[in-house]
C-alpha cells in the first residue's frame, strides 16, 4: 500500500593536526618510566551529506595555545624499578601515554661503619654501629678477613684512613633515576558528538490518496538500537485517531528521524505494502544499516589492518557515526598516525555504506641525546645517554626502544619491545636491562667495589575504557631482577638480604592499574601497582627478612594545569608501602634529581616512602615562535621509613625549595637547570659534586 525510500548518504569525516610536537613523555610520567608525551593535536572533522539538506559539521576545538603544548593520548606503556617506575608513569602520561611505577633495580649502599686501627699491626677492627643501624644491618658488615685485604697503601694515620673512618662503604649498584622527560601539557578535548538536523523524508505521490484510517497501535520489526517501547512513544501521536495516508507515512518518517538524529545515518523505517489495516494494527519494519567495507589507504609501512581493525570495533551494525568519530579521534591520538580523514559513501544497497579512510603516517624513527647529573656520586653523578626508538618496527605497530647510558663508573643498557595483540590497544612487552657499576667516589674507589645487575620483564597491558579524553587500563608484569657485588675482586654481601656470594635475586608478579584524564586545561594521570614477591625461580630466600618474599604497593600521580598561556602548574606524588623489610632492589629512593631537590641522590633508601612535589613554570622570554624560556620555582617533600623489624634513618624527613630555568628550542632541544636548598639537615655529604651542592641539570636533544 505504500513504500519507503531513505536517502543513501555520503558522509565525509576529516581529522587533521594543525600543529605537532615531537616531545616524548609515559604516560601514567611522571608516573611511569617509559611513557611518551603525545604531540599537540588540533583536529577538525567535517561530515557532509550531498542529499538535501542532510548536512553537519564537526570540529575539534583548537587550543589558543595549540603550539605550546603536547597532546596527551599517545602513549605506550612500559611499567616497573625506581627509575623505570617513574619513566613508566611519565610515558603513561600521554599515551600512553604514558608518559608510558618504578622499582629500584639497584640496591642502596650497605650499612657499614668500620674503623682502620692506628696500631702498628694495621689490623682492621669493626667499629660498633649506632643503635639505629643494628639488627639486620649487622649481617652485612664487611667480613674481617676481607677488611684485612685492604691494600697496604691505606696506611695507619694516613689521610685516606681519616677519610674512611666512620664512613659507610657504598654499594655500587645504586638506583638509576628516570631519564628526564618533557612534562605533558593539557590539550583540547573533543566536543560532544555532533548533531545532524534531518527533515522528514519527502512523501511519495501516494500522499494524495484520499480517506482516513484509525490505527490502534504500531508494531515494530528489525529494531535493535531502540526498544519497541521507545519507538511506540514516537508514533503515539498517530494512534487512536483518524489519520490520512500522508500522516501514516509521517509515522514512518518520525522513526527514521529518531535513528538519524542518534547517529544511525544509514538506518531507517519502512511500512511494508499489502497490510490489512482493518484490525487497526500497522507493522513498521526497521532497516538498520551497516558498513559494506572499510577501505584504508596511505598507511605506508603500517599494516592497513592496524587501522581497519580499530575502526571495525566502532562500525558494528547498526552503524553509528558518533561511535565512528570517536574511533577516528582515538586513531588521531595514536603516535603512529599524523592525520587521518574518512569518507562514508553509499554501498551496494541503501542500508550499506563504504568507509574510505586515508592515513598520513607519522615519523616512527627517533633518537635522543641525554645529559644530566642524576646518578649517585658513588658511581659518578654525570650521566650521558642515547636512546633510539622505532615505533613501527615490523609494520604491525610494534615498538622497539634501545637505551644506553653511562657515567664515570657505570654503564647501563636497556631494550624494550612492545607488540599490539588486539584492536583495543592491548599490548605485550618484553624488557631487558643490564647495569655494571664501579664505585669511583673517593676514598672508596681504592676498594675496587664492583656491582652488576640485570632485569627481565614480561608485561601485558589492556585498556578497558578508552576515549579521546580518558583511559583506564589494567596490566600484569612478571619480573625477575638479580644483582651481585664484589670487593677487591671477591664476592661480598654488601647489601641486606644478599647471600654469601653477594647475590640478590627477586622474582615478583606486579598487577598495575592506570588512569589518564585530559581536558582543555588540565591532565591527570595516576598509576597503582601491587607487587607480590615470590620465593621461586631461584629467588633469594632467607630465614628472616629481607628476601624475595614481600608484598608492596606503590601509587604515583601527576596533575598538570594550564594557569595562563605558557604557564603550567605541575604537582607530583609518589607513595610506597611494604608489609616487611625489602631488599634494596625493591626499596624506594628519596632525594636528588626528580625527587627532593637540594639533597644528594637517594640520600634516603627505605622500605616505605612518600614524595610530594609542586612547581610552576612561568614564561619570562620568548625567542621566535617556538623558543621559550621559563622560570620554575619548586618545593619538594619526602619522608622515608622502614617496615617493622628495621630501624628507620635517624632523620627521615626531607624538605627542599628552589628555583630553576627551563629553555625550549622548538621540538629539538629542552634544557633545564635547578638549584635546591635543603631545609632539613639529613646529613647531606660535603662532597664537591654539583648535586651535593644543590645544583641539578638535564638536557634533551632530539636528533631526528
More confidently predicted of 533 and 41: 533
- 141 has pLDDT over 90: no
- 527 has pLDDT over 90: yes
- 390 has pLDDT over 60: yes
Across 33-42, 88-97, 181-190, which has the greatest mean pLDDT? 181-190
- 459 has pLDDT over 50: yes
Here the cell at position 681 is 639537615
More confidently predicted of 103 and 661: 661
More confidently predicted of 81 and 75: 81
* DSSP-derived 3-state class of residue 19: coil
* DSSP E strands, 167-272: 212-214, 217-221, 242-244, 268-270
* Mean pLDDT score of the chain: 78
The residue among 59, 37, 36 whose CA lies nearest residue 46 is 59
Please state the φ and ψ torsions of residue 496, each to the nearest 5 degrees.
-60, 135
Sequence-distant (6+) residues with CB within 8 A of 563 are 569, 616
* Cα–Cα distance measured from residue 652 to residue 181, given in angstroms and rounded to the nearest whole number: 28
Q: What is the DSSP letter of 293?
A: E
Burial class (CB in 10 A: 0-12, 13-18, 19+), 553: middle
Here the cell at position 647 is 630501624
Q: What is the structure's pLDDT at 491?
A: 85
**Percent share of the chain, pLDDT over 90:** 58
* DSSP E strands, 142-200: none
- 95 has pLDDT over 80: no
Mean local confidence (pLDDT), 635-656 = 87
Q: Which helix (H) or strand (E) holds 254?
A: helix 245-261
CB contact at 8 A, 566 and 68: yes
* DSSP-derived 3-state class of residue 44: strand
Q: What is the structure's pLDDT at 500?
A: 86
Grade residue 218 by pLDDT with cuts at 50, 70 and 90: very high
Q: What is the structure's pLDDT at 257?
A: 95
The residue among 71, 91, 93, 31 whose CA lies nearest residue 516 is 93
Q: What is the structure's pLDDT at 118?
A: 33
pTM of the model: 0.76
- 358 has pLDDT over 80: yes
Burial class (CB in 10 A: 0-12, 13-18, 19+), 537: exposed
More confidently predicted of 131 and 512: 512
CB contact at 8 A, 473 and 77: yes
* Cα–Cα distance measured from residue 295 to residue 308, given in angstroms and rounded to the nearest whole number: 8
User: What stretches of 75-222 show up as alpha helix (H) in DSSP?
Assistant: 82-90, 144-147, 159-164
CB contact at 8 A, 672 and 340: no
Here the cell at position 463 is 585498556
Q: What is the structure's pLDDT at 360?
A: 96
Domains of the chain: 114-164 (no CATH), 205-287 (3.10.20.310)
DSSP string, 517-539: EE-SSEEEEEEEEEEEEES-TT-
Q: What is the structure's pLDDT at 245?
A: 86
Mean local confidence (pLDDT), 670-688 = 87
Grade residue 174 by pLDDT with cuts at 50, 70 and 90: low
For residue 455, the tally of other CB atoms under 10 A from its CB is 23
For residue 626, the tally of other CB atoms under 10 A from its CB is 15
Q: What is the DSSP letter of 168?
A: P
Of the listed ranges 209-218, 315-324, 501-510, 534-543, the one predicted with least confidence: 209-218
Q: What is the structure's pLDDT at 208?
A: 54
Q: What is the structure's pLDDT at 23?
A: 35
Q: Which helix (H) or strand (E) holds 249?
A: helix 245-261
Across 103-112, 158-167, 268-277, which has the greatest mean pLDDT? 268-277
Place of cell 620568548: 622
Amino acid at each position: 500500500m505504500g513504500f519507503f525510500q531513505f536517502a543513501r548518504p555520503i558522509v565525509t569525516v576529516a581529522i587533521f593536526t594543525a600543529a605537532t610536537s615531537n616531545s616524548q613523555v609515559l604516560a601514567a610520567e611522571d608516573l611511569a618510566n617509559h611513557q611518551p608525551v603525545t604531540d599537540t593535536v588540533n583536529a577538525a572533522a567535517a561530515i557532509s551529506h550531498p542529499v538535501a539538506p542532510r548536512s553537519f559539521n564537526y570540529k575539534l576545538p583548537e587550543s589558543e595555545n595549540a603550539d605550546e603544548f603536547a597532546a596527551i593520548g599517545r602513549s605506550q606503556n612500559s611499567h616497573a624499578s625506581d627509575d623505570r617506575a617513574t619513566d613508566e608513569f611519565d610515558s603513561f602520561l600521554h599515551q600512553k601515554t604514558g608518559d608510558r611505577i618504578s622499582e629500584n633495580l639497584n640496591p642502596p649502599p650497605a650499612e657499614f661503619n668500620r674503623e682502620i686501627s692506628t696500631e702498628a699491626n694495621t689490623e682492621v677492627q669493626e667499629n660498633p654501629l649506632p643503635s639505629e643501624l643494628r639488627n639486620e644491618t649487622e649481617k652485612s658488615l664487611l667480613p674481617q678477613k676481607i677488611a684485612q685485604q685492604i691494600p697496604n697503601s691505606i696506611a695507619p694515620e694516613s689521610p685516606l684512613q681519616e677519610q674512611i673512618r666512620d664512613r659507610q662503604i657504598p654499594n655500587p649498584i645504586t638506583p638509576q633515576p628516570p631519564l628526564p622527560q618533557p612534562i605533558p601539557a593539557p590539550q583540547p578535548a573533543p566536543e560532544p558528538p555532533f548533531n545532524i538536523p534531518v527533515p522528514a523524508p519527502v512523501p511519495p505521490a501516494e500522499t494524495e490518496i484520499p480517506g482516513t484510517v484509525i490505527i490502534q497501535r504500531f508494531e515494530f520489526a528489525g529494531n535493535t538500537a531502540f526498544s519497541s517501547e521507545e519507538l511506540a512513544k514516537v508514533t503515539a501521536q498517530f494512534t487512536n485517531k483518524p489519520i490520512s495516508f500522508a500522516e501514516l507515512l509521517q509515522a514512518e518518517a518520525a522513526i527514521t528521524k529518531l535513528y538519524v538524529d542518534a547517529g544511525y545515518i544509514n538506518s531507517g523505517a519502512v511500512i511494508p505494502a499489502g497490510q490489512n489495516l482493518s484490525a487497526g494494527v500497522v507493522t513498521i519494519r526497521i532497516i538498520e544499516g551497516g558498513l559494506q567495507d572499510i577501505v584504508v589507504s596511505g598507511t605506508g609501512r603500517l599494516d592497513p589492518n592496524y587501522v581497519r581493525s580499530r575502526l571495525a570495533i566502532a562500525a558494528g551494525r547498526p552503524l553509528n557515526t558518533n561511535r565512528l568519530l570517536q574511533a577516528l579521534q582515538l586513531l588521531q591520538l595514536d603516535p603512529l598516525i599524523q592525520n587521518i580523514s574518512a569518507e562514508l559513501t553509499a554501498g551496494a544497497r541503501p542500508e550499506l555504506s563504504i568507509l574510505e579512510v586515508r592515513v598520513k603516517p607519522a615519523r616512527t624513527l627517533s633518537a635522543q641525546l641525554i645529559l644530566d647529573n642524576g646518578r649517585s656520586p658513588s658511581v659518578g653523578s654525570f650521566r650521558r645517554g642515547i636512546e633510539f626508538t622505532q615505533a613501527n618496527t615490523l609494520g604491525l605497530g610494534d615498538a622497539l626502544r634501545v637505551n644506553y647510558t653511562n657515567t664515570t663508573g657505570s654503564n647501563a643498557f636497556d631494550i624494550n619491545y612492545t607488540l599490539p595483540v588486539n584492536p583495543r590497544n592491548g599490548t605485550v612487552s618484553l624488557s631487558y636491562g643490564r647495569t655494571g657499576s664501579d664505585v669511583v667516589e673517593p676514598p672508596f674507589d681504592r676498594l675496587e667495589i664492583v656491582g652488576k645487575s640485570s632485569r627481565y620483564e614480561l608485561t601485558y597491558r589492556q585498556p578497558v575504557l578508552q576515549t579521546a579524553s580518558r583511559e583506564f587500563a589494567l596490566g600484569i608484569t612478571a619480573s625477575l631482577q638479580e644483582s651481585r657485588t664484589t670487593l677487591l675482586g671477591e664476592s661480598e654481601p654488601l647489601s641486606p638480604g644478599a647471600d654469601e656470594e653477594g647475590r640478590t635475586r627477586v622474582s615478583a608478579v606486579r598487577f598495575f592499574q592506570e588512569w589518564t584524564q585530559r581536558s582543555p586545561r588540565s591532565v591527570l594521570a595516576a598509576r597503582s601497582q601491587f607487587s607480590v614477591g615470590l620465593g621461586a625461580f631461584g629467588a633469594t630466600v632467607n630465614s628472616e627478612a629481607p628476601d624475595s618474599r614481600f608484598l608492596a604497593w606503590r601509587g604515583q600521580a601527576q596533575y598538570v594545569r594550564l594557569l595562563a598561556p605558557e604557564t603550567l602548574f605541575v604537582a607530583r606524588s609518589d607513595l610506597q608501602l611494604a608489609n616487611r623489610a625489602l631488599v634494596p632492589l625493591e626499596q624506594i629512593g628519596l632525594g636528588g634529581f626528580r625527587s627532593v631537590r637540594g639533597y644528594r641522590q637517594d640520600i634516603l633508601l627505605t622500605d616505605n616512602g612518600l614524595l610530594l612535589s609542586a612547581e610552576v613554570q612561568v614564561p619570562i622570554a620568548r625567542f621566535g615562535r617556538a623558543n621559550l624560556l621559563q622560570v620554575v620555582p619548586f618545593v619538594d617533600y619526602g619522608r622515608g621509613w622502614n617496615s617493622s623489624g628495621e630501624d628507620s634513618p635517624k632523620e627521615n624527613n626531607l624538605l627542599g625549595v628552589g628555583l630553576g630555568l627551563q629553555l625550549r628550542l622548538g621540538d629539538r632541544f629542552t634544557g633545564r637547570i635547578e638549584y635546591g636548598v635543603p631545609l632539613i639537615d639529613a646529613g647531606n655529604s660535603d662532597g664537591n659534586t654539583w648535586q651535593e651542592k644543590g645544583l641539578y641539570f638535564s638536557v634533551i636533544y632530539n636528533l631526528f
